Amino acid sequence: MDAFRAHGFFVVRAFLDVAERAELRRACDAALLHARAHSLETGHSTPRISLLTDGATCAEDDPGAFERIAVFVGSGRVCELLAGLSRPREEETPRLKDAHYYHEQTRRDWDGDWHRDSQFGQPDPEIERAVVATTTAVHFRVALEDDDRLEIVPGSHARWDTADELRIRRGADRTTPDMPNAARVALRAGDACVFHAWSIHRATYRRAPVRRTIDALYAFARPAVRRWPSQAT
């Protein structure tokens, strides 16, 4: 928790043993192979596939795959790692938002954009700034193969951008290798990492080596209650 508060991430070495890794890898690979077979893009030139949609639709190839993945990302063992990471006014129980499988590229290498996840769907930086200051969302990931693709600016989850960071992340040069103070998070197969989704981060996508990393996203903010117009009285 101290590492998370200070840097916005921590690594748990050897979170999965060889047998656990192999079982999850079989389930996630079934989803990836299914996605690759049914699309020219998904699973090929995308950073990741969704394990909740692509995972669910591969049931005919491997009937138990979706359940194995869902049980894992909802397990007490994973959720224990997230205990105590929420802010005082948030809920303590993490809510699963999505689960993805990051994969190697099949066609070309490319560099991802520097971003905070809080910026997605949020054109107004001042509103985004309030979201960053008051809420928590975290990625839990476990590498099924060695994975050093992720880069994070340590400590950026706990403060707003410097002028350089804002220029890069919301400007025209979002893939620059020159993000100040960025650190690479190198995971060995079986290592887990928890990082704040509002941290400034990005990854670079390569055809080699093989990349197979499960990543689940959790939020702690109280869900907004939305009503359909016909229900409003």
Ligand X SMILES: O=C(O)CCC(=O)C(=O)O
User: Which amino acid is present at 205?
Assistant: Y
28 binds ligand X (CB under 6 A): no
47 binds ligand X (CB under 6 A): yes
Which one among 54, 117, 161, 165 touches ligand X, defined by CB under 6 A?
117
Radius of gyration of the chain (CA): 18
192 binds ligand X (CB under 6 A): no
66 binds ligand X (CB under 6 A): no
How far apart (Å, rounded) are the C-alpha atoms in residues 98 and 142?
Answer: 15
Binding part of the chain for ligand X, among 30-38, 49-57, 88-96, 195-203 by CB under 6 A, reads 195-203
Nearest to 213 by CA among 21, 63, 80, 3: 21
Q: Report the nearest approach of ligand X to the CB of residue 23 (Å).
A: 22
Cβ nearer to ligand X, comparing 66 with 198: 198
Alpha-helix residue ranges (DSSP H) falling in the chain: 2-7, 18-38, 54-57, 65-73, 76-80, 125-134, 163-169
138 binds ligand X (CB under 6 A): no
166 in Cβ contact with 114 (< 8 Å): no
Q: Report the nearest approach of ligand X to the CB of residue 112 (Å).
A: 6
Nearest to 193 by CA among 14, 21, 11: 11
Cβ nearer to ligand X, comparing 72 with 102: 102
203 binds ligand X (CB under 6 A): yes
Per CB under 6 A, residues contacting ligand X are 47, 102, 117, 139, 149-150, 201-203
